[in-house]
Amino acid sequence: KQEVTQIPAALSVPEGENLVLNCSFTDSAIYNLQWFRQDPGKGLTSLLLIQSSQREQTSGRLNASLDKSSGRSTLYIAASQPGDSATYLCAVEGGQGAQKLVFGQGTRLTINP
């Protein structure tokens, strides 16, 4: 059974810092990995999707990497801003025809002005 773990559970940093969020998964047979953002009381917004054949994806100040063999992904946020404050969720889509996403518990990020 696929399990996804995110470390740390919560992170608070001053504005302007670069930061890294970590995600690990137990079964390397995945189709893709996604990073989502969730604001309080809201749904999920997809930030980046990395296909299993890819190593990384970039969007603006965000960079996500994937090391499938070791079961790890990182989300790098450059020059953090208070508007980046949210919960960040990592999810993997399994192989063998499994379409469902398996999520980690999230990292709650606070950027202090």
Partner 1 sequence: GAGVSQTPSNKVTEKGKYVELRCDPISGHTALYWYRQSLGQGPEFLIYFQGTGAADDSGLPNDRFFAVRPEGSVSTLKIQRTERGDSAVYLCASSPSGSTDTQYFGPGTRLTVL
Interacting residue ranges for partner 1, rule: CB under 8 A:
4, 31-32, 34, 36, 42-46, 49, 51, 89, 91, 93, 97-106
Greatest CA separation for the chain: 45
Nearer to partner 1, 43 or 113 (CB): 43
Residue placing its CB nearer to partner 1 in the complex, 105 or 112: 105
5 in Cβ contact with 103 (< 8 Å): no
With respect to partner 1, which residue has the nearer C-beta, 15 or 54? 54
Q: How far is the CB of 2 from partner 1 (least distance, A)?
A: 10
- 9 close to 23: Cβ distance less than 8 angstroms: no
- Categorise residue 74: left if φ over 0, alpha if ψ from -120 to 50, beta otherwise: beta
